[in-house]
Amino acid sequence: MEYINLQLFAQEKTEKATPKKRRDVRERGNIPQSRELNSALALIGCFAVLYLSASYITDTIMKQAHYLLTLPINDGLFSVDGVQGLLATGVTGLLKASAPVAGAALCIGLMTSYLQVGFVFTTKPLVPSLNRLNPLEGLKRIFSRRTIAQLVKSLLKVAIVGYLTFRYLIARYPETPKMLDMGPVKVMETIGVTTIRVGLLAGAALLALAIFDLYYQRYEHEKSIMMTKQEVREEYKQVEGNPQIKSKIKEKQRQISMRRMMAEIPKADVVITNPSHFAVALKYKPEVAKAPYVVAKGKDLIALKIREIAKENRVQVVENINLARSLYETTEIGEVIPPELYQSVAEVLAFVYSMDKKS
């Protein structure tokens, strides 16, 4: 006879991640995001800004070059201070020229990351882990499905960008000889326009690949954080507590509440019953509440116990079927009776007080 180990099925990750698991994973920095999307949008944004600010960049570079080339040559120019001044001027000009593109890349990168994952700050990925030094774990990572997917994506990117660039340049090849008749500025302008167009074309192609990658990363993330049934049960115990212990605590609380309620019955003014199903104990103390309030209530066996305690302590028990049921359903322990029952309760209390006077 062949036996089946059912424990293996319990270890299969078939359950979606719980909110707590998602929070824990997020705190560890394990967040689904597509770096391809960041790269594609940054590429498109940078080339778009480069196209819009081409005149500014060109003018800045030309002015800087003109200034450096027209500096008077003297002994002070090649001193330590002079060379430092030249370097500072050159670096300043370079920063001014590249500021629009660099700023666009920074802003697009931050905005794309925020839109994908929101704001996350954690240092847990920086904590050293011995797992990273484990050769077997390293081999698993190298030959994992995620690594193979990354390799395929990289090859696709190179192939797509290379093919599109080649096709575009081949289409523009007949115009290349015309550049021999152009001036230096016009040649630079033509090369710049061609470069920007190739960049935008490559960025659009990468964006299409990045959208696919975004859905793939989310799918992989959801799959990686799935849980076994046992993990879900263990987490529930951690968050909500052991069900058996909780049940015992609730039972203990009910017992304490019941004893407290029964201790209040001897102080009641009257117990209104429906003769065997409901019992409600009322007390009227003007300095405590503006109307009579419920100190105890119950049905069936509890109602019977309330009546017994009331009789033992000489608390008047009055049978009123409709009033007892209404009080039980509309008023909780410690609450005053609703206004619509004032008249009925007042009549009962008046009867009870008159009986007390006679006795």
Strands across the sheet with 293-299, in order? 293-299, 278-283, 270-274, 316-319
**Mean pLDDT, residues 209-214:** 86
Task: Tokens for 168, please give them.
Answer: 């575009």
CATH 3.40.1690.10 positions along the chain are 263-358
**Does residue 5 carry a pLDDT above 60?**
no
Strand-strand pairing, 293-299 and 278-283: antiparallel
Give me the architecture of the 263-358 domain, per CATH: 3-Layer(aba) Sandwich (3.40)
Encode pLDDT of 95-134 as tens digits.
Answer: 888 888 888 889 988 888 888 877 766 666 566 665 656 6
**Paired tokens of 189:** 């302008």
Tokens of 161: 């960008």
Overall pTM > 0.75: no
**Strand 316-319 to 270-274 pairing:** parallel
How far apart, in Å, are the Cα atoms of 63 and each of 66, 68, 69, 74? Answer: 5, 9, 10, 21
How far is it between the farthest Cα atoms of the chain? 129
Lookup: tokens for 300:
């069936």
Nearest to 18 by CA among 232, 230, 204, 184: 232
Quickly state the pLDDT bin for 354 (edges 50, 70, 90): confident
Mind giving me the DSSP string for 83-117? HHHHHHHHHHHHHHHHHHHHHHHHHHHHHHHHHHH
